[in-house]
Amino acid sequence: MNHSKLAALTTQALVLTACLFAMSAYGQNVDYLISTLQAYRDNLRLGGNSAMMSPQAANLTDQDISDIAAYYGAQTPVIDSETQIK
């Protein structure tokens, strides 16, 4: 997915991408991201970040979710002295 496609997503999708960055989605498995975002959207994932994520994911289409997952899955994980990505 190119950056212009990402920019065209809904405002909710952009807020969601900020949430995903906060949970270190860069380089994450695409299928995992898709299933996680679908679970948030469908209110099947509870606890943790669900209170923040579910409302943001509520109006995402399957295509939006696939595009977001593909974008983040293709990124290189960012690791600094404060963060360890496993």
pLDDT digits (tens, 9 = 90+) for 61-80: 999 999 999 988 888 776 65
> Which among 62, 74, 63 has a CA at the least distance from the CA of 28?
74
Cβ neighbours, 10 Å, residue 29: 11
pLDDT at 58: 93
Token pair, residue 26, equals: 């860069």
CA 63 to chain centre: 13
Based on DSSP, count helices (H) and strands (E) in the chain, helices before strands: 5, 0
pLDDT over threshold 60, residue 83 = no
- Which residue is associated with the tokens 């669900």? 50
User: Domains in the chain and their CATH numbers?
Assistant: 3-73 (1.10.760)
Which has the higher per-residue pLDDT, 4 or 52?
Answer: 52
What percent of the chain is modeled with pLDDT above 70?
Answer: 62
Residue 37 contacts residue 68 (beta carbons within 8 Å) = yes
Q: What is the mean pLDDT of residues 16-22?
A: 60
pLDDT over threshold 70, residue 5 = no
